[in-house]
């Protein structure tokens, strides 16, 4: 079991660019970090790379779009290490396309992975958090859930839905020692974004008042802050980190 002074953090979608930065930062800040994965081969290589850097990250399989799979994953984590104190709902995919051409399969795939996953994972950790009198739920949304984006009706709907979930759950568990918040990143310099053609990337950057992409470590720092005791009075909030691209 975990030492009482060590909080256990579960990060979903952990092996991507943002997830990796979060895991590193949370580990460096003293948390016991558990990474969720779907591809075992990729996850083991990822784990080995981080281990070589000095980051001891534990990995657990779970299909975040499947309620029972999430339950089995969280039960195993609880039995092996202890109950989850901090949940970072970071898993997400895109299947972009103009709505008039969007298939039902692409709609459901994005809603299942990006929004249903938030219910699936949170539902399995919330009661142990209530029993413990402490918990942090941190939902990673997107600037495009705040403002919309051409070709992303599915993605924008899911990301906006995350914050609707955040606001209501925050109200329900505020007196239980649990905070629930959303982070909405803008365009971040992940491998996926850096793989976009330079001219398109430059067009994106031109729309950002700060004149650059965000850093994965900047988002990770915000995640770690919300997980900490210093953020006790922040709940139901949507924290934008987008370089001024969308202000309201």
- What is the DSSP track for 180-238? EEEEEE-SB--HHHHTS-HHHHHHHHHT-TTSSPBPHHHHHHHHHHHHSGGGTT--S-E
Q: Which among 189, 144, 198 is positioned nearest to 17, based on CA atoms?
A: 189
Please state, in angstroms and rounded to a whole number, the distance separating the CA atoms of residues 147 and 219: 19
Please state, in angstroms and rounded to a whole number, the distance separating the CA atoms of residues 8 and 2: 8
Q: Which among 119, 160, 166 is positioned nearest to 246, based on CA atoms?
A: 160
Strand ranges for 38-80 from DSSP E: 58-61
Query: Are 213 and 189 in contact, with CB atoms under 8 Å apart?
Result: yes
Q: Is the pLDDT of residue 196 over 90?
A: no
Catalytic residue among 31, 37, 60, 155: 155
Share of the chain above pLDDT 70, in %: 98
Q: Which among 242, 194, 183 is positioned nearest to 214, based on CA atoms?
A: 242
CATH of domain 8-238: 3.40.50.720
Q: 76-85, 131-140, 196-205, 229-238: which has the minimum mean pLDDT?
A: 196-205
Please give the biggest Cα pair distance in the chain. Answer: 53
Domain definitions of the chain by residue range: 8-238
Tell me, rounded to whole angstroms, the distance of Cα 83 from its chain centroid. 18
Q: What is the mean pLDDT of the chain?
A: 95
Give me the pLDDT at residue 3, please: 40
pLDDT digit string, tens, across residues 59-70: 999 999 999 999
pLDDT digit string, tens, across residues 60-96: 999 999 999 999 999 999 999 999 999 999 999 989 9
Give me the pLDDT at residue 193, please: 83
Give me the pLDDT at residue 62, please: 97
Query: Are 94 and 158 in contact, with CB atoms under 8 Å apart?
Result: no
Give me the pLDDT at residue 127, please: 98
Encode 76-111: b = buried (16+ Cβ within 10 Å), e = exposed: ebbeebbbbbbbbbbbbbbbeeeeeebeeebbebbb
Q: Is the pLDDT of residue 15 over 60?
A: yes
H-helix or E-strand spanning residue 34:
strand 32-37
Q: Is the pLDDT of residue 50 over 60?
A: yes
Please state, in angstroms and rounded to a whole number, the distance separating the CA atoms of residues 118 and 176: 20
Question: Band of the pLDDT at 194, cuts 50, 70, 90?
Answer: confident
Q: pTM (2 decimals)?
A: 0.95
Give me the pLDDT at residue 5, please: 56
pLDDT digit string, tens, across residues 105-134: 999 999 999 999 999 999 999 999 999 999
- Told to judge if 155 belongs to the known catalytic residues of this protein, a careful annotator would answer yes
């Amino acid at each position: 079991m975990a030492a009482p002074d060590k909080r256990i953090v579960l990060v979903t979608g952990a092996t991507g660019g943002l997830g990796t930065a979060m895991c590193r930062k949370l580990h460096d800040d003293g948390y016991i970090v558990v990474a969720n994965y779907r591809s075992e081969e990729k996850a083991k290589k990822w784990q080995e790379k981080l281990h070589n850097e000095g980051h001891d990250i534990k990995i657990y399989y779970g299909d975040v779009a499947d309620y029972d799979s999430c339950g089995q994953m969280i039960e195993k984590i609880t039995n092996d290490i202890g109950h989850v104190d901090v949940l970072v709902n970071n898993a997400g995919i895109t299947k972009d396309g103009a709505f008039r051409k969007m298939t039902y399969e692409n709609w459901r795939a994005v809603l299942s992975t990006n929004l249903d996953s938030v219910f699936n994972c949170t539902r399995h950790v919330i009661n142990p958090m209530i029993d413990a009198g402490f918990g942090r739920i941190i939902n990673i949304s997107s600037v495009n859930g705040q403002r919309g984006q051409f070709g992303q009706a599915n993605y924008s709907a899911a990301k906006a839905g995350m914050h609707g979930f955040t606001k209501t759950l925050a109200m329900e568990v505020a007196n239980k020692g649990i905070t629930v918040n959303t982070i909405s990143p803008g365009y971040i310099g992940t491998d996926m974004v850096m793989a976009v053609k330079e001219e398109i990337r430059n067009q994106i950057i031109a729309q950002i008042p700060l004149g650059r992409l965000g850093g994965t470590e900047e988002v990770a720092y915000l995640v770690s802050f919300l997980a900490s005791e210093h953020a006790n009075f922040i709940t139901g909030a949507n924290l934008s980190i987008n370089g001024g691209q969308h202000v309201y």
